[in-house]
Amino acid sequence: MLFSPYRMGTLELPNRIVMPPMTRSRAAAGDVATPLMAAYYAQRASAGLIVSEGTQISPQGQGYAWTPGIYNAEQVAGWRLVTDAVHAAGGRIFAQLWHVGRVSHVDLQPGGAQPVSSSALLADGVKVFVDPDQQGPQAGVGGMVQHSLPRALTLEEIPAIVQDYARAAQNALDAGFDGIELHAANGYLINQFIDSQANHRTDAYGGSLSNRLRFLKEVVQAVIGVLGKERVGVRLAPLTTLNGAVDDTPQATYLAAAKLLDELGVAYIHIAEVDWEDAPEMPEAFKEALRMVYRGTLIYAGKYTADKAQAALQAGWADLIGFGRPFIANPDLPFRLQHGLALNPPDANTFFGGDAQGLTDYAAAQGA
């Protein structure tokens, strides 16, 4: 099943292998995507679907150095290089829209402003891993704590951020993307509203589960208004604890989120299952329950092998499978998996930042 075609909305995917979003920190000055990035994504166009690295929807939404944006004309032009290259190679690509919220540093905020979040306070003992010099999410694993406390967004500010998402969705369309994925996982802004230990609000965006899902709902509705529901996906991470995102009742919370997304009709939900050693695998009963409440395409990503992916597809709770780090070192990953070929090992030292080394210089297998 892994190598069989799959129809997702208006897209015909040649296989069920997804290249999930992976921060690579190679953007140019001005947070602009580059020809080098275009070559990187085009090399991997044999994936059934590519989801781009997280791209910030505004200057306020940036969390790390050298990550690309999608909020001005120069950035749209940079991404157009990428989408044109992917399409010329026969691929399909969605843009992941990203606002990191409190997972930022004052030095990356316009005018040195405080990072924003659902709430100013975190749960007792929770640390947010950010550093102005880090080159990707893995840099927090060493235990660095936040350098400045976030402030809670006011009720008056929230609609403007919702509109930032909508403008970014229009920019993604203008840049030639086939659709967008909202990053609502891994402790970033939308996730900061969803999870109970990150959201301490007492207004319409906090307290009850329906209130904690309100920001997600409004953002999804805004981008659907621009693109249509068949071009919108959402990434969730029910059990990860990255960047202090913890929920007291994750199964109840994320089944409700999935039900909401089913009602809104998004094209897919993308589950980050095991990411950077910070979460267990989801119990199969949880996955089966998600399948019961959500009727669209379900993508799972997190340390899958070809055999494990086949089993997930045959079990019926997954439709597509994401392979993250294997795609870094194997631009021809679908070919290698289908033919049982050995995989190139990735060089973790070149995951974040740098030049072509570790980005576009991995060799394809003979015959790929």
> What is the arithmetic mean of pLDDT over 86-110?
92
- Give a yes or no: residue 176 inside a domain: yes
Q: Which residues contact 311 (CB under 8 A, 6 or more apart)?
A: none
Confidence of residue 139 (pLDDT cuts 50, 70, 90): very low
299-358 pLDDT, tens digit per residue, is: 999 889 999 999 999 999 999 999 999 999 999 999 999 999 999 999 999 999 999 999
Coil, helix or strand at residue 83: helix
> 359 lies in a domain?
no
**281: CATH:** 3.20.20.70
Helix H or strand E encompassing 166:
helix 158-174
Q: What number of CA atoms fall less than 13 Å from residue 181's CA on the CB side?
A: 30
> Is residue 310 included in any domain, yes or no?
yes
Rounded distance between C-alpha atoms, residue 348 and residue 178, angstroms: 30
Whether residue 243 is predicted with pLDDT greater than 90 in this model: the reply is no
Whether 254 is catalytic: no
Q: Which member of 188, 300, 304, 362 is catalytic? A: 188
Task: Kindly state whether residue 365 falls inside one of the protein's structural domains.
Answer: no
pLDDT tens-digit readout, 10-64:
999 999 999 999 999 999 999 999 999 999 999 999 999 999 999 999 999 998 9
Residue 112 in domain: yes
Write out the two tokens for 229: 């529901």
Least reliable range by pLDDT among 124-128, 191-195, 210-214, 348-352: 124-128
DSSP, res 161: H
Residue 285, domain member (yes or no):
yes
Half-sphere exposure (Cβ direction) of 120: Cα atoms closer than 13 Å: 5
Question: For residue 336, what is the enclosing H or E element?
Answer: helix 333-338
pTM for the full predicted model: 0.92
Specify the higher pLDDT residue, 10 or 138.
10
Structure tokens, 231: 């071009």
pLDDT digits (tens, 9 = 90+) for 244-302: 788 999 999 999 999 999 999 999 999 998 765 666 778 999 999 999 999 999 999 98
Instruction: Give the sign of the dihedral formed by CA 79, CA 82, CA 299, CA 283.
Output: negative
The DSSP call for residue 60 is G
In a domain, 367, yes or no: no
**Is position 306 within any domain?**
yes
In whole numbers, what is the pLDDT of the chain averaged over residues?
90
Domain of 339 in residue numbering reads as 6-350
Q: How many domains does the chain have?
A: 1
